[in-house]
Every structure is written in C-alpha cells, then in structure tokens.
C-alpha cells in the first residue's frame, strides 16, 4: 500500500488530501499540523487515516508533501536527512517561492532523496482544513521544478490525477519571475489599496463597508494570512522589489496623463489593459 504524508493540513494541504483520496482510496494518508483542529477535522471527515508527528509521518511515507509556510518548509527539508526515510521516497512542497527552497533541497540530493519543487497556482484568502476543496486545483497551473531530472514527477502527477491540474515543468528563474509579477505584486497592491482607501475615508461618513463589488474583488486577497505573506516577501525580495518599481512607473505614467488631461493617452491606457485582460480569460 502506498503511503503519503502531508505536513500542513491547511487549505492547500487538505485539498491535496482530498484529491489523493478521490483518486485512490487505497492510498494511506497521514498528516500533521500545528493546529490540532485541522488534524481532527481531517480524521473525522475521512480525508486522512492518521494524525502523526512530522518524524513519524516522514519515515513511513513513500511520498512527502510539505505544505507549510516557506520558512517552515526549508526547516523541514533540513531535518529530513536526519530521519530514517524509506528508500526511493519522493519529497515535494507547495511553497509559492522556490529559489530558497530549491537551494535548501540540494542537501536532499546529497542523501539520494528525490525532491520536486511544487507550486499549485490556486488558493484563496481562506485558511484551515475546512476551507479545502476537491476542485481547488481544477484547471489551475501546477508548477513542478525537479532537482534530479524528471524523477518523482510522474508519481506526483499520478497521485493528483483527479485534480485536473495544468502541469508545467519550469526553471527556478522563470517560476520566481512569474509568481513575482502575477501573484506577489498583486498581494502588495491589494493590501496597499485597502490601507490607502481606509485612510482616505476614515474622516468621512461613508466607510469601506459600503464598497461595491469591484473594490471587494480587487482587494479580496488582502485578507490572506499575514504570516505566510511575510515569509513570501522575504523569500523573493529581489523580484518583488523589481515588480514594485515597474508598477510604480506605470502609476506615474497614468498620473501624468490624468494631470495633463491627455484623453488619448488615458483611453489607450484602459484600452490596452482591457485587451490584455481579455487574452487572460481566453487562455
């Protein structure tokens, strides 16, 4: 019987368990989480078979999923070579930045442990095991970054075959550039927008609770876990800072066009944005 261990049973980890269980109910799934409520929910829901310690789960597993914050993932990677792991074990993670994780994972190669960096481009501002879904990864891009050829890749795909993910094997550099622009910068912008808008409205009779759907949709991700996003900002600093600079230039340009009353430039700004956004929907 194949055994899977999931460290971190929040929204992503619990969704992985759901997908694995849906694909093959013969797979033994164990899990651990610092919040006992997450583990108990997963047991009671029949989504995992047992709550175990990190050491116990890792040593029993054929495949290990590391689903904590980036800094926790790195600490766990460093711990794995000290444990009595199964021969041929495959280790993967779901961290949203990969450079520091892949650097840390070099120690696993030195001990003949297969590591595949992973990052499903799915999630929400919700947290905890109860927020997981069987369809969370449906048609979502799932990045994989192997550290030893393609070893372990097919095993991960097979376990998650019912997820209907769009698998993409990429380099570390391409991954960091993409998530910096398409995920990390939007979180900075959403959080900044919430704070700036709240500040500008604090002395008025109308507060943020009256905001319409557009503002709510744009800033939804600002409600995400601050611990996780602090770790992300510090693990992809250079790319994020570059993206903030690019965004600041774009804001400065449209600001100048508005100040100058340049109707053509303003229209072109929104027209180009509309065109790009429509291409995303078509993709």
CA 237 – CA 255 distance, rounded (Å): 27
Domains of the chain: 3-170 (3.40.50.720), 174-282 (1.10.3660.10)
CA 256 to chain centre: 36
Write 222-228 long-range contacts (CB < 8 A, 24+). Answer: 222/125, 222/187, 222/190, 222/191, 222/193, 222/194, 223/125, 224/124, 224/125, 224/187, 225/125, 225/127, 227/69, 228/69
Q: What is the mean pLDDT of residues 206-224?
A: 83
Residue 88 DSSP class: T
Residue 202: C-alpha distances to residues 2, 132, 199, 206, 239 (Å):
56, 35, 5, 8, 33
Residue 283 is predicted with a pLDDT of 61
Per-residue pLDDT reduced to its tens digit, 67-104: 998 899 999 999 999 999 999 999 999 998 999 999 99
Identify the band that residue 215 occupies on the pLDDT scale cut at 50, 70 and 90.
confident
């Amino acid at each position: 019987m194949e055994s899977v261990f999931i460290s971190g049973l929040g929204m992503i980890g619990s969704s992985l368990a759901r997908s694995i269980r849906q694909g093959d109910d013969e797979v033994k799934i164990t899990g651990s989480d610092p919040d006992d409520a997450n583990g108990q929910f997963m047991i009671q829901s029949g989504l995992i078979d047992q709550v175990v310690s990190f050491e116990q789960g890792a040593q029993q597993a054929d495949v290990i999923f590391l689903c904590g914050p980036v800094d926790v993932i790195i600490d766990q990677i460093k711990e794995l070579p000290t444990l009595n792991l199964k021969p041929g074990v495959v280790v993967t993670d779901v961290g949203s930045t990969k450079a520091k994780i892949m650097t840390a994972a070099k120690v696993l190669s030195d001990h003949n442990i297969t590591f595949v960096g992973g990052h499903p481009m799915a999630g929400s501002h919700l947290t905890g095991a109860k927020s997981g879904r069987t369809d969370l990864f449906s048609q979502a891009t799932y990045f994989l970054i192997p550290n030893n050829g393609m070893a372990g890749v097919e095993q991960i795909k097979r376990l998650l075959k019912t997820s209907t993910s769009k698998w993409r094997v990429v380099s570390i550099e391409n991954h960091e550039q993409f998530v910096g622009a398409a995920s990390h910068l939007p979180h900075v912008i959403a959080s900044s927008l919430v704070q700036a808008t709240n500040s500008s409205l604090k002395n008025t009779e109308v507060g943020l609770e009256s905001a319409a759907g557009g503002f709510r949709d744009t800033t939804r991700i600002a409600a995400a876990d601050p611990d996780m996003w602090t770790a992300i900002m510090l693990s992809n600093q250079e790319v994020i800072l570059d993206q903030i600079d690019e965004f600041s230039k774009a804001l400065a340009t449209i600001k100048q066009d508005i100040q100058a009353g340049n109707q053509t430039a303003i229209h072109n700004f929104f027209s180009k944005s509309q065109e790009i956004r429509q291409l995303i929907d078509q993709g």
